[in-house]
Amino acid sequence: MTIDPALRRLALGTLLAAFPGPTVPPWVVALLTEGLAGITLFRSNLADQDLIKTLHTVRSQLLLATDEEGGDVSRLGSPFPGNAALGAVDDPDLTHSVHRAIGAQLRRAGINLTFAPVVDVNTTAENPIIGTRAFGASPALVSRHAAAAVTGLQSAGVAACAKHFPGHGATVTDSHLALPTVEASRDLLRARDLPPFAAAIAAGTAAIMTAHIRIPGLTGSLPATFSGQVLQGLLREEYGFNGAIVTDALEMRGAVSAAGSVGRAAVLALGAGADVLCLGARVSAEVVEDVVAEIVAAVRDGRLSGDRVAGAADRAARLAFAFPMAAAASPASSASAAGAAVELGLSAARRALRVEGPVDGFAGALVVRVHSGSTIAEGSTPWGAFPGAITIAAATSSAEDLITQAGSRPIVLAGRRLHRDPDIRNLIESLATRHTVAVVEMGWPSSWRPAGVQAYLTTFGAAAANTQAAAHALGLTHHPS
């Protein structure tokens, strides 16, 4: 089948591809030359600055995007605490400063679009995918910080992309793994989930990312990403957003399970009103060509309007034009900025830290990092790197073993979402009956407080800055005040 070159170029102009590793494959160069909208960059891509330089030389105007939220979801190795910590401080000026610094870090790297900030209201404490990525559980608080984050990022010359519309905070399922269902009326969404998006729009956010969540009364059996009522009715018409609508990764099961394939998901998303289609991380030339072929076929058989594809490609191009890529900064200027960023991040993390109970006497403690997996959004980002810490799994550890290792030293146990595992709860409380113990909770905070512990610290995140703030409070290591 012969494909009209103009239609092929328009289809490519809606797509964000990806590839693994620090070398740009030839197929990426070829597709960018043909009109591919841009590339989503992951941690493995960012190991070598020459990769971004190579992409800049292929085309002067394209979208180079990444998930740089700060905190627990960081592709650049952020020196900042994440949104939950900033929400705990509740100083919008601090949030603006941190996100301006994140934007500057991205711009120095040559990236012009970040899939941030997360503006979901985390109303479900056991939410498996949002948690500390959210500013909080109050619509008013999240709205304040959504606006501050958007203006901070964009004042540094990087496009913000507020996510995940119309709100992922009430889910109990990870949309990377399945299609979550949220039972909510339009009125509940307007009161609970949508105010932060309204604040982000008022602040001028360049883009908004869709959520792969099902809201039966609004989206029927399909995810919001495929719903014209959500993208056109709510986002465009009711909330007046005229920027670029970006999909969450179309390879995610929350999308593919509803559509049947990434190509069909692309067609459904375009038809609903999306402009920039994020294909995900596992992308190849074949995947891109399959998606393009599906879009072209949908235009030919009437499932999709050619004008809709053209409009989407135009919005993607305008986004790239509005936020041109910058050349990578010199090593000297980057080093100076990095030092200032570390100080800002540590200051923010210290302000967020909550300490209950006396923290005296923990210098020289045995630090035990309780192993927990990472979400797909977090990836392999290191967390909880306390100096000299040992790592355990609750299922294979006993209080007796840890007390033997500690000897006369006190014990500090640090972990994420510690309250969710009954084995971990039992281990901590068993230790506390016989030993001096402090607990550092580095995930979304809970009401659980283990009986008998001397101190309980809440960091609101597990990034390096959060770890350093907790270590400093416990006297585990020295940091300048």
pLDDT digits (tens, 9 = 90+) for 91-133: 999 999 999 999 999 999 999 999 999 999 999 888 878 999 9
Single-letter code of the amino acid located at 232: Q
Q: Say if residue 274 is in the same domain as residue 223.
A: yes
* SS3 label, residue 208: strand
Q: Does residue 50 fall inside a structural domain?
A: yes
- Do 367 and 279 lie in one domain? The reply is no
Residue 21 belongs to domain with CATH number = 3.20.20.300
Q: pLDDT grade, residue 481 (50/70/90)?
A: very low
> What average pLDDT does the chain have?
92
Provide the β-strand partners of residue 415: 441
In a domain, 344, yes or no: no
Which of 110, 132, 107 shows the shortest CA–CA distance to 122? 132
**What total of structural domains would you count in the chain?**
2
User: Is there a domain that residue 480 lies in?
Assistant: no
Same domain assignment for residues 287 and 380: no
- My answer on whether 174 and 55 are in the same domain is yes
Flag whether 271 is in a domain.
Answer: yes
> Which residue's entry shows tokens 């603006």?
96
Average pLDDT over residues 49-71: 93
Domain C-terminal end among 277, 306, 322: 322
> How much of the chain, in percent, has pLDDT values that exceed 90?
78
Query: Is 130 found in the same domain as 263?
Result: yes
The answer on 305 and 193 residing in a single domain is yes
Q: Is residue 335 part of a domain?
A: no
Q: Tell whether 219 and 92 lie within a shared domain.
A: yes
The verdict on 309 and 376 lying in the same domain is: no
CA distance 227 to 208: 15
Residue 115 and residue 14 in one domain: yes
Give the Cα separation of 363 and 360 in Å (integer): 8
Q: Please tell me whether residue 315 adopts helix, strand or coil conformation.
A: helix
The pairing of beta strand 354-356 with beta strand 455-458: antiparallel
Q: Would you please indicate which residues are annotated as catalytic (active-site) residues?
A: 176, 248
Instruction: For residue 110, give every residue at least 6 positions away whose Cβ sits within 8 Å of its Cβ, in sequence order, or none.
Output: 49, 52, 53, 55, 56, 64, 325, 326, 327, 328
Amino acid at 330: S
- 298, 362: one domain: no
Half-sphere exposure of 401 (CA within 13 A, CB side): 12
pLDDT, mean of residues 379-394: 79
Last residue of a domain, one of 282, 301, 322: 322
Do 391 and 306 sit in the same domain of this protein? no
Domain coverage including residue 26: 5-322
- pLDDT tens profile 246-265: 999 999 876 777 788 999 99
Q: Which residues contact 407 (CB under 8 A, 6 or more apart)?
A: none
Taking residue 241's Cβ as centre, other Cβ atoms within 10 Å add up to 21
* Residue ending a domain, choose from 280, 302, 322: 322
Q: What is the DSSP letter of 376?
A: T
* Residue 479 clears pLDDT 60, i.e. is over it: no
Rounded to a whole number of angstroms, the CA Rg of the chain reads 23
Task: Examine residue 287 and state whether it is found in any structural domain, yes or no.
Answer: yes
Domain assignment present for residue 327? The answer is no
pLDDT at position 480: 36
Specify the range with the lowest mean pLDDT, choosing from 73-87, 372-386, 394-408.
Answer: 372-386
pLDDT digit string, tens, across residues 126-138? 887 899 999 999 9
Residue 348 has pLDDT above 90, yes or no: yes
Residue 346 lies in a domain: no
pLDDT number for residue 478:
43
- Distance in angstroms (rounded) separating the CA atoms of residues 439 and 262: 44
Clarify whether residues 286 and 411 are in a common domain. Answer: no
Cα angle value 162/164/165 (rounded, 5°): 95
